[in-house]
Amino acid sequence: MTTTRRQFIKIGALSAGSITLAGSYTWSKAASLLENKESPIRTPTYCEVCFWQCAGWVYKDEKGEIQKIIGNDEDPHCNGRFCPRGTGGVGQYSDTDRLKTPLIRTSKDGVDSFREADWDEALDYIAQRMKEIAAKHGPECAALFTHGSGGAHFGQMLKAFGSQSVTAPSFAQCRGPREVGFLTTFGDIIYSPERTDIRDTRCLVLIGSHIGENMHNGQIQEMSEAIDKGATIITVDPRFSTAASKSKFWLPIKPSTDMALLLAWMNVLIENGWYDKDYIARYAHGFEELKEHVKKYTPEWAYGITTIDPNVIRDTAREMYNASPAVIIHPGRHVTWYGDDTQRLRAVAILNALLGSWGRRGGFYNPEKAKVPDYPVPPFPVPKHMPTDAYNGKYKLANEVVSNGICDATIPTADRDCSYKIWFVNGTNLLAALPDQDQTKRAIDALELLVVVDTMPVEMTELADVVLPECSYLERYDMLRKSPHREPNIAIRVPAAEPKYNSKPADWIAKQLAEKLGLSAWFPWKNMEELLDWQLREIGSSLDEMKRIGVKKFPRKHDDLYFAPNEEIAFNTTTGKIELYSTDMEAEGFDPLPVYTAHEEPPEGFYRLIYGRAPMHTFSRTANNPNLTDIMDENSLWVNPKVAKIWGLKSGQYVKLKNQDDKLSTFSIKIRVTERIRWDSVYMVHGFGHNNTKLSRAHGRGINDTELITNVKVDPVMGGTGMRSNFVTFIVSNESTGKGAES
């Protein structure tokens, strides 16, 4: 492991006063709160526990204490129902381990520690350092890594400062390949919430996408509605997921071979004429090339690769055709798996095109976003370098900034003249979100200033020069939510309580800092109330109205949720058609039609490490949440009984893991022996194994999958980090007992 100039500051070095442990808040207590009679004091919010952003109501008692959060009935993201994480979101507010005051790194006799600072001092320090560093290297040397609502505020500050390098792990570590795969095929992206018309579908095909454990609210509700109406579910997953348990067909595919299955499905559809001939003739480019291309990809060929019976491949293809065009081959969301992910998602897009589901009821609808004007500010300065310059001509088809591209460009090399020197990191725990932790640490080592804005002490805060404590989403305003949906709509977040401790909202932090940097012109509003009220009045509402209703819907501009029969459509691609054969891919030197490539296999005695979600947690951001740790406080390792037998493993036993590069896990994980996982893989939920001792509930609980992901397969098309070519073996020791079993 790389050592770092920034020592990981242990709790002893912190000058903060003693930390009291939160009282044990049980789930039944949460449930009993829910049964309370509704109190009249409620404020609207939208949830920040994950990025589905459900709109809800926060209820308080007479003393002003937050009692519960429930869904807003008018909200199309949640239809009045929150998931367990959203309900438990109060824990993000009540957690006594929260960051409490700004911290500045100091070094004495070679020992680093944090000292507490007030806001003025911390922000003066940051502004001063930013000016000095920009004077030497230009303002373009600053980058913002962000996930969540604060990004809008810090992005405004950074762009005003003179850098456009704003990036989120939700692109190159998450949904990037599907956006690029669909953009190059249909000329448009999938968006969030996904434009999948699940409620009216007759056949939903889930490839890895594990809806049910992936708790994206509206999708789950629509999926159960579709099941009630008799839709067929087909799940392709090496693990018997919750979705698989609801499926007519479960295809326990050999991991990493999905491309072979997708090509074989195309082969079956085309050879049998099971495709939408009118739709393809009218809208598609490159059908003849595709037909020729997939001839060799027979179900028998795919069987040898995927282990899926050829008859099952044919039966499932027929099932899709029978349902078409009300069929969805779901594009998934976290799709950075094997490095050829954009091509895999192109294959998914092509299948949907063959079945005519794009633009059709029960397939993919055309979402519309509410148009809300931005508060007028001067144009941002034009930077000398754009973020794309950082990747030296790579990832040309990326339609968002590539986080790992910025991370790599922070490590100085001879062939680049624009290394980053300043990172702002807001709401993203990069040591859990970016694979290859050593590379992330090397980049951090090369920085002159690292500012981390978070609500909790996590791995990233310990590496910061300055830590800024943001208040929770329940204590702040944020920008309006205006995600696209069937009906354009907006939702508002209003603080339900005063910020606890000495924490502040991102909007305030960004504006104060901008003022200290001489950038007030880009923050001309007095406060969020003024900014929001101005925006709302421009669209015929007001802050007062939104405080009362929380969510507001607007009529669609046109009746174009689906294509009209025989409608002529100009797709936003080079040919103006749905590109089965991609001219963009071809122009950039990539395969214009997706091809199958074999991926690495586990070495002897190793198993593929795969990971996913648990219904009651969101990545690492909820790992210490008192309400949610009550229902799940560690992850476990799913192991097939055959494998358990070879290794003599029993359920409940703790083991460490070592990967193919000899990387040993910091902590131990509890074994769960189950038939629900293939023998060639092991599975864990992402987000556990925190090594920050200030997290009283999460520290040492389970394993962080990220530390074992050292073999990263970067997608040449858009920079996505394929994370599933890592293999682990078991280190069994009698002493491994779970919590705190740190080496």
User: What residues line the site for ligand MGD (CB under 6 A)?
Assistant: 48, 50-51, 147-148, 150, 169-170, 173-174, 207-210, 214-216, 236-239, 241, 253, 255-256, 258, 332-335, 337, 426-429, 432-433, 435, 453-456, 458, 470, 472-473, 610-615, 617-621, 683, 686, 705-706, 709, 723-724
Fill in the per-residue mask, 70 to 109: x = in contact with ligand SF4 (CB under 6 A), - = not in contact: --------x---xx-xx-----------------------
434 binds Mo ion (CB under 5 A): no
CB of 333 to ligand SF4, least distance (A): 12
Chain-centroid distance of CA 13 in Å reads 33
Pair of tokens at residue 188: 């448009």
Nearer to ligand SF4, 83 or 517 (CB): 83
d(CA 11, CA 576): 59
Nearer to ligand SF4, 151 or 719 (CB): 151
Report the amino acid identity of residue 177. Answer: P
d(CA 528, CA 507): 7
Nearest to 141 by CA among 353, 389, 312: 389
54 binds ligand SF4 (CB under 6 A): yes
Contact range with ligand SF4 by CB under 6 A, out of 32-40, 47-55, 247-255, 420-428:
47-55
Q: Select the binding partner of residue 426 from Mo ion, ligand MGD, ligand SF4, none (C-beta < 5 to 8 A, by kind).
A: ligand MGD
d(CA 51, CA 46): 10
Nearer to ligand SF4, 216 or 360 (CB): 216
The DSSP letter of residue 212 is T
CB of 377 to ligand SF4, least distance (A): 29
Nearer to ligand MGD, 499 or 592 (CB): 499
Please give the C-alpha separations between residue 348 and each of 128, 170, 545, 546, 704, in angstroms, as whole numbers: 50, 20, 43, 40, 30
What is the CB neighbour count within 10 angstroms for residue 76?
A: 18
CB of 499 to ligand MGD, least distance (A): 11
Residue from 174, 468, 657, 718 binding Mo ion (CB under 5 A): 174
Q: Select the binding partner of residue 615 from ligand MGD, ligand SF4, Mo ion, none (C-beta < 5 to 8 A, by kind).
A: ligand MGD
First and final C-alpha spacing in the chain: 14
CB of 593 to ligand SF4, least distance (A): 36
Peptide bond preceding 379 in cis form (omega within 30 of 0): no
CB of 617 to ligand SF4, least distance (A): 10
CB of 55 to ligand SF4, least distance (A): 9
**Are 532 and 493 a contacting pair, CB within 8 Å?**
no
Contact range with Mo ion by CB under 5 A, out of 330-338, 554-562, 564-572, 711-719:
330-338
What is the CB neighbour count within 10 angstroms for residue 505?
A: 24
CB of 493 to ligand SF4, least distance (A): 12
How many residues touch ligand SF4 (CB under 6 A)? 14
Nearer to ligand MGD, 631 or 732 (CB): 631
**Are 113 and 13 a contacting pair, CB within 8 Å?**
yes
Report the amino acid identity of residue 157. Answer: M
What is the CB neighbour count within 10 angstroms for residue 273?
A: 8
Nearer to ligand MGD, 541 or 640 (CB): 640
637 binds ligand SF4 (CB under 6 A): no
Q: Select the binding partner of residue 53 from ligand MGD, ligand SF4, Mo ion, none (C-beta < 5 to 8 A, by kind).
A: ligand SF4
Residue from 9, 22, 30, 50 binding ligand SF4 (CB under 6 A): 50
What is the CB neighbour count within 10 angstroms for residue 204?
A: 30
52 binds ligand SF4 (CB under 6 A): yes
Nearer to ligand MGD, 335 or 669 (CB): 335
Q: Select the binding partner of residue 210 from ligand MGD, ligand SF4, Mo ion, none (C-beta < 5 to 8 A, by kind).
A: ligand MGD
CB of 223 to ligand SF4, least distance (A): 13
d(CA 690, CA 667): 9
**Are 258 and 344 a contacting pair, CB within 8 Å?**
yes
Q: Select the binding partner of residue 458 from Mo ion, ligand MGD, ligand SF4, none (C-beta < 5 to 8 A, by kind).
A: ligand MGD
Taken in order 178, 181, 182, 188, is the CA torsion positive or negative?
A: positive
616 binds ligand SF4 (CB under 6 A): no
Nearer to ligand MGD, 50 or 268 (CB): 50
Q: Select the binding partner of residue 613 from ligand MGD, Mo ion, ligand SF4, none (C-beta < 5 to 8 A, by kind).
A: ligand MGD
Q: Where are the alpha helices (DSSP H) in 498-651?
A: 506-516, 528-538, 543-549, 583-587, 626-629, 641-647
Given the structure tokens 């960004």, which residue do they identify?
A: 510
Nearer to Mo ion, 214 or 357 (CB): 214
Q: Select the binding partner of residue 670 from ligand MGD, Mo ion, ligand SF4, none (C-beta < 5 to 8 A, by kind).
A: none
Fill in the per-residue mask, 536 to 565: x = in contact with ligand SF4 (CB under 6 A), - = not in contact: ------------------------------
The DSSP letter of residue 239 is B
**Are 126 and 513 a contacting pair, CB within 8 Å?**
yes
What is the CB neighbour count within 10 angstroms for residue 271?
A: 15
Q: Select the binding partner of residue 54 from ligand SF4, ligand MGD, Mo ion, none (C-beta < 5 to 8 A, by kind).
A: ligand SF4
Nearer to ligand SF4, 78 or 401 (CB): 78
Report the amino acid identity of residue 656. Answer: K
User: What CA dihedral angle connects 162, 168, 173 and 178, to 10 degrees?
Assistant: -90
Q: Select the binding partner of residue 456 from Mo ion, ligand MGD, ligand SF4, none (C-beta < 5 to 8 A, by kind).
A: ligand MGD
Helix axes 258-271, 310-323, angle to 10 degrees: 60
Chain-centroid distance of CA 304 in Å reads 33
Report the amino acid identity of residue 377. Answer: V
CB of 454 to ligand MGD, least distance (A): 5
Taken in order 472, 473, 478, 483, is the CA torsion positive or negative?
A: positive
Please give the C-alpha separations between residue 138 and each of 132, 158, 465, in angstroms, as whole numbers: 10, 13, 20
Binding site for ligand SF4 (CB under 6 A): 47, 49-50, 52-54, 78, 82-83, 85-86, 215-217
Binding site for Mo ion (CB under 5 A): 174, 334
